[in-house]
Structures are given as structure tokens and as C-alpha cells.
Amino acid sequence: MTACAIETAAEDDDRDRDAAWSAGPGGPPGFADSAGPAGPPGFAGSAGFTITANGAYAARLAGAGDALYVERWTLDGPEPYAVPLPLGQPEEPHAQLLPLADGRVLVARRVDGRRNTFSLLYPTGPATGELQLGAVEAPGSERLVLLPPSPDGICAYAMCVGPDTTTLWLVAGGAFGPEQVAEIKGGCTGGVWLDRTGRILALDRRLGDGPVKAVTVDLERGGEVTPLLQIAEESNDRLLLADPDSGLLLIRSDAPSPGRDRLGWGVLGSLLPVRFPECLRLDDAAVTPFAVQPGQVLMPESCSVALRIDAAGGSWVGTWEPSSRRMAQSAAPAGWLAGAGLWTAGGVLRLPYVTAGAPCGLVELETPPEPEPEPEPVASTAAVPAAVVDEPRVCRPVPLQQAPLTDRKPAG
């Protein structure tokens, strides 16, 4: 990738339709209100619902008020079902959860403001088993956050952001309890895995008062840092989601319009520009990707992307492919745990929801069909004026640094 490009809408009716969806306080007809604060896309979701990398399990804090407890969902069976994992005392609202591939749930609890303890919960007949793993108390531990589930399904990592450095900790899956695995200069946020082994992690880093730039961290080489996104010198370039199979990257950057973030896409290791489609920009709503279709080996333009759309009246769902100039928009199911969901390799979007009548539900979203494409114009030997050619507007080319993973291979 060597530049950033603005993709204009194919027709004026694209812009009109987007405006109709985003206008007014109610959103699209029949959309469902969402609950809970916003969370990092593709990780915990806005309602604190975290799904394992393989889509088999999920975890959330259930209950209400002062009676919160951990609840584990099983998603890979014929029907989803939930198992409560209560302990002798309720969980605090700020407890962080991370499900593992073996069905256990990691709980991170903050004690006395700075110290963080970690334990694994699992069902043992009618009771809940708890394996205590240890604690982390280090500079920045008052802002410790769990990173997204590791692709290996075994390890779990946390990040502490101190005044000048960020430390990464292996908090589950190690031999001797929590251990520091990397120290990175600057303050970091985000967290996206770029491979299927849990070795290469992308973080959004800020050095001093400079712009935010996504970098990669190699956990098998002592936390070696490599630049990942460098769209423009002063632009803030963040990585939101990545699909290791296809190399598709979902990016948020203000490079095409300084001071205003835009949602764009690129391909890991590609020389093509980062593109910022017009159809992903809504004037009265925020658009955030939360899931990418897996299994599209080396076919990034065919990957389906699920997007959470937030407006004044609530949240609903968008679906889009890089090869399309349109974003389909659909009502979310009632009780949707907004910002949570997963794609199957076959292209089915599954959304979790909770209602009074269905405390553990999973719906397969039926997205609107793609409109018929416009017929190709008949070739003509007449000269075409340059002003008629619909080329995307390109910003000043700036190289995108090569990431460590450019030799993707088919899964398995």
C-alpha cells in the first residue's frame, strides 16, 4: 500500500440512500435499541460480550445491580446455551472477562485501584471452580486491560499503559503465573492479532505528543516493534480489525480529511493504496466494524464485514464487502448485545441477543440482497474527455511499512 484513496459513490442514489438511513432519531425501521457502553470493536462488544477466536465460546457479566456473575455461552453446538458461573460474592461491574478455547473463563479483577488479580472459572457440576493465577501490580496497572482472545485459544494477555511505556503481560497460559513479555516505548491502545498462532499483535501507539500510528509487536522476539501504518506523516492511523486468512485490514484514519476520522480498508503487505469508501461514511451515525468473515484465503475483496451503526436513537447492523460500493443496513434483533457477533466461513452473520423470553439467543442475520449492478457501457472508439473518467481522488503517496506477515498460506 503506497497511498490513501477516496472511493466515490457509484451513483447519487447511493448517497441518497445512506442519508435516508442515517437521518432522524429513529434509525432504520424496526431497529433495536442497544444497551451498554461502547467497547473496542471485534473484542468485548458494547455490552461486554467477548467471543473466542474460534467462535466456540463467549462470556459476559450477567445479572443486575449488585448481583453480577460470570456467564459462559457455548456457541458451536446445535443451539446456543449459557452456563452461569457464580461465586460466593458477586463480581464488580469493572471485572474483565476473556473466554478460552477449553471453555474456561478468565476473570481480571482490580483490587485497591492498582493491583489486578486473575483467575479461571469453570463449571464443576452444580458449583463453580476457580483457579487463581496470580496478580499484576506495575506502572500503569490501574489502567490494565485484557487484550482480545489469542488465536491459539490457550494464552491470554493484558496491557498496562504507564506514563512513558506500555507493558504486555501473559496472564494465562504460562508456567508460573502472570509474567511480563514485552515493554514498548510510548502509550498504546487497541489490540488486533495478525496471525493464527498468537505471535504478532498490532497496537495503536502514540509517542509523546505525536500522532497515533499502528505498529506490530512480535511476542516471540521480546516484543520487537515494527511500523505497520504510515498513511501520512501527521495522520492518526489506527487498526481496528484484521483477517489473517485474507490479509484484509480495517483502518480508521484522518489522513483523507485531517481532523475527521474515516473508515478505510487495505491489505497486509500489499502495494495498493488504503481506500476510504464513501458508503462507510454516514453524516449522523458512527460506523464501527466488529467482525470479518474468515476463511477467504488471499481474497480480501470478497470478505464480508459486519459493522455496528450508532445514531441518536440506537444501534443497528451494516454489512459490506470491499468489492462493493454499497453498505447494506439491517435492523438488529431485539436485545442484541450491540457490537458483538461473528461470521461463519460460509458467510452467515450470527448475532447474540438477550431478552426476557430468550436469555441466550443467537440469530442468523438475513442481510438485504445486493442490488443488480449497472450494465457495463458499450465500448466505443470515440475519445473520452478526461473529466468524465471517474478516478478516485488520491492523497499524497506515503509508503506503508511492510508488516512481518506477508507470506500468508491457506489455513490448515
Instruction: Round to whole Å and give the CA distance between 348 and 208.
Output: 43
pLDDT at res. 47: 55
CA distance 365 to 129: 35
Residue with cell 456473575: 69
For 312-357, write each residue's pLDDT tens digit: 989 999 999 999 989 999 999 999 999 999 999 889 999 999 999 9
CB 116 within 8 A of CB 144: yes
Look up residue 371 and give its three cell numbers: 442490488
Cell numbers placing 311? 445514531
If DSSP codes are grouped into helix, strand and coil, which group holds residue 278?
helix
Which segments in the chain show pLDDT lower than 50? 1-2, 8-46, 374-412
Residue 183 C-beta-side C-alpha neighbours within 13 Å = 9
pLDDT at 329: 95
E strand spans, 81-178 = 81-85, 96-99, 105-111, 115-124, 127-136, 145-146, 156-161, 165-172
- The full 3-state SS of 234-248, as one line of letters, equals CCCEEEEEECCCCCE
Classify the phi-psi angles of 55: left when phi > 0, otherwise alpha if psi is within -120 to 50, otherwise beta.
left
DSSP states along 185-216: ESEEEEEEE-SSSS-EEEEEEE-TTS-EEEEE
Rg of the chain in Å (alpha carbons): 22
Q: In what order do the strands lie in the sheet with 328-330?
A: 286-292, 305-311, 314-320, 328-330
> Quick one: which of 339, 318, 343, 326 has its CA closest to 28?
318
371 residue type, one letter: P
pLDDT digits (tens, 9 = 90+) for 22-55: 333 333 333 333 333 333 333 333 358 999 999 9
Q: What is the pLDDT of residue 410?
A: 43
Distance CA 250, CA 192 (A): 10
Task: Supply the pTM of this predicted model.
Answer: 0.80
